[in-house]
Chains A and B, each alone.
Chain A
Amino acid sequence: MFLSERIGIHAALANPAVTSTRKLVPMALQRTSRSLVAAVGLAATVGLILTGCTNTGTDTKGSSSGSSEQTVKASDGPTCDLATYKGEKIDLKDAVVGFSQSEKEDNPFRIAETQSIKDEAAKVGVKKFISTNAQSTLSKQISDIQDLISQGANVLIVAPLNSDGLEPALSAARAKNIPVITIDRKLNAEACSDYVSFLGSDFVEQGKRAADQLIKGTGGKGKVAILLGASGNGVTTDRTKGFVDEIKAKGSGIEIVAQQTGDFARDKGQSVTEQLLQSNPEITAIYAENDEMGLGAQAAIIAAGKTPGKDIQIYSIDGTKNAVSQIVAGQYNGVIESNPRFGPLAFKTLKSFLAGDPVGQDIIIEDGEYDPDNAASKVDGAF
């Protein structure tokens, strides 16, 4: 409903990728103008501005090149098949496929995710593809899914906004035996009964791998600040847990000196880092729970007169082109990927499920990682 406009406008005003990137250009130019890296860095940053404007185009190219298609890491748990779910056999080509996206496509992850589902629907050649966007409103996601069902959707792909609260939508699908595949966030509901299966990353593992990268990059010592994601979000909890536990286990020389929320937003990441650098000038590394906050932290470090990537290292999770190209430029240290390109895997799962084959209830995908050694060669595969 109309409430989403306010959030949208607010986000656009407060977090414009273009303005913050523009701010970076003269700084980056000043600091590294003598080396060859500067040219690369500048080109990358200018590239960012360009991709900021023509995001969708670049993303389509990226996903069609298939360089970073999702691969399944683990799917050894219980399975689900059509008979158990009591669904009807239908060819995907004759099916109306409904997709319910949770958040606005105003960040690289959601843009790439929606685009990937859309592209794959076209590639598979489904009878009709309908997509909706809940714009971060739970009640809208419920009504979106109900609308999709009343429009005759035969299968549903849902990116849940929240782990709880979608019950009315799920029971509407259940009443018509419509298979529901959930992606990127897991529901607190029963697999193969309330929904078919969950496709997504292991967020705890992502946090753990970020910790591994940080321990390796810092040589196992230093003072770290964590920029947390939005509170009340399961992704935040998992990425924090994985990171903190791994530091405790393997990084005895590393001290976590601060944990503050940056709400997954670039501007918030920047302002929080500014404050952190003032109150804890001894910070040597930052772990941001998504790339946007990491890029905000980078801007804050530059503003404080320090060199990101050297004086203060930055590690984050997502794998956006913006962050990975900063690794190439030497101003960022590591990114753990959270692959948003669910299209091919989601449709493959649906296809085998509808054909009557068993599919895993928890399909965990393999996420890549970017470091200074591989970033230059893999940056084109980032989203």
Chain B
Amino acid sequence: MTAIEPSAGPASSSQLARERAVGAVQSFGAPIVLVIVVIVASFSFPTFFTATNLTNILLQSSFLLIVGIGMTFVIVTGGIDLSVGSVFALGGVLAAYASQWGWVAALVVPLVVGALIGAIQGALVAWGGMAPFIVTLAGLLAVRGIVLAITNGGSTTPLITDPVLKVIGQGGLAGIEWPVIIGLVLLVIGIVLLTRSRTGQGVVAVGGSENASTLMGLPVARVKMSVYVLSGIMAALAGALNAAYTSSGVPVVGVGMELSAISAVVIGGTLLTGGKGSLIGTLAGVLLLGVIQNIINQVGSLTSSVQSIVSGGFLAVVVIIQTVLSRQQRL
């Protein structure tokens, strides 16, 4: 007994420690890469690590962060939401249009419409049994069409003059802009919801195995429906805040935003196959995209084609690192 214990103990505990370390690196992979990139950039560019520049990056990233929170929930269930860019644009146009009736209307109208679009898509996925990719692709096209239809083919831009809404978009508290504060508060709520609540556990379980979840008596369809509603609300809210920020509901915003949001979520360590996800990772993914863009601008002499190569290459490297780490953990 005494002979076995010491030999078994260290062996299993060192293996456990190694697994734990790799696990930590994987779930904190994106934050770690983010820190490294920020440090390197700070030493390379004198104008990078300045208060103005860092708050700029935060503000620029806050809208994508809000969209990314909803997207994380959807992807954890094993789904995908391609409609967020269009819903983002619709949210902005509706907010600007409704701002003539005051700031409450400007926030409520987009949220209700966003929830409704999410509910329709969610119902088709959950009860219609259709592929999320196709359902939300249809959503992407149809909602963009609605945006163009209500703006005269994209030629009218409703403007925001409501002072409260302008403060929400452009003002701040203690030097931090409201969109950033709202994004971070939603992130904290999201983390609590995903990791500490029954609903969140249901979301993870459905993504892990739908059949097992059904057998366990989880309301699978309801869970699936709810994540699309959440995603629709988040995208519309981000759009409304962006409209407040730019003082106008520009119809052409958000084109391709779904891909940025998905990239950020995946960089953050959430598995596209579902069942595992991290909102802190999503935050890091969003910030990474913002920082990379900022660094490209700091260089200031790259042509648009080189910029694309750099950001594409970076995304590839991050995904490769993620994959290698998760493979090690499985072994």
Chain A residues near B (Cβ < 8 Å): 1-8, 101, 104-106, 114, 129-133, 135-140, 142-144, 146-152, 162-168, 171, 188, 231-234, 237
Contact = CB atoms under 8 A, between A and B. Distances in A.
A133 B308 CA distance: 10
A144 B250 CA distance: 18
B295 to A, nearest CB: 10
Contact of B305 (A106, A138, A151): A106
Contacts of B258: 3
Given A167-B247, A231-B153, A4 B303 contact: no
B interface SS class: helix
Contact of A148 (B259, B297, B315): B297
B308 A150 contact: no
B105 interface: no
Contacts of B308: 4-5, 8, 135
Given A136-B255, A139-B60, A5 B250 contact: no
Contacts, number: 139
Interface stretch (B22-30, B32-40, B45-53, B121-129): B45-53
24 contacts: A1-B289, A1-B311, A2-B256, A2-B259, A2-B311, A3-B85, A3-B260, A104-B305, A129-B301, A135-B304, A135-B308, A137-B253, A142-B246, A143-B60, A143-B293, A146-B56, A147-B53, A149-B52, A164-B246, A164-B250, A168-B170, A231-B154, A232-B148, A233-B154
B252 A4 contact: no
Interface residues of B, number: 50
A86 to B, nearest CB: 20
A164 B248 contact: yes
Contact of B151 (A138, A147, A151, A232): A232
Given A140-B293, A150-B50, A2 B260 contact: yes
A104 B63 CA distance: 23
A165 B157 contact: yes
A306 to B, nearest CB: 31
Contacts of B298: 147, 151
B259 A166 contact: no
A131 B311 contact: no
Interface of B: 47, 50, 52-53, 56, 60, 63-64, 85, 148, 151-155, 157, 159, 170, 242, 245-248, 250-253, 255-260, 263, 289-290, 293-294, 297-298, 300-301, 303-305, 307-308, 311-312, 315
A289 B190 CA distance: 48
A133 B256 contact: no
Contacts of B246: 138, 142, 164-168
B247 A105 contact: no
Nearest to B51: A150
B297 A144 contact: yes
B151 to A, nearest CB: 7
A164 B157 contact: yes
A147 B305 contact: no
Contacts of A106: 304-305
Nearest to A98: B300
A251 to B, nearest CB: 26
B289 to A, nearest CB: 5
Contacts of A234: 155
B292 to A, nearest CB: 8
A144 B304 CA distance: 13
Contacts of B56: 143, 146-147, 150
A360 to B, nearest CB: 26
Given A150-B53, A167-B248, A231 B304 contact: no
A180 to B, nearest CB: 16
Contacts of B263: 2
A3 B157 CA distance: 23
A318 to B, nearest CB: 19
Contacts of B297: 130, 132, 144, 147-148, 151
A2 B316 CA distance: 12
Contact of B315 (A2, A133, A146, A152): A2
Contacts of B60: 139, 142-143, 146
A7 B256 contact: yes
A144 B56 CA distance: 10
Contacts of B85: 3
A232 B251 contact: yes
A2 B319 CA distance: 14
Contacts of B242: 139
Contact of B257 (A3, A143, A144, A233): A3
A155 to B, nearest CB: 14
A96 to B, nearest CB: 10
Contacts of A5: 259, 308, 311-312
Contact of A139 (B63, B248, B251, B307): B63
B80 to A, nearest CB: 15
B305 A139 contact: no
Nearest to A163: B157
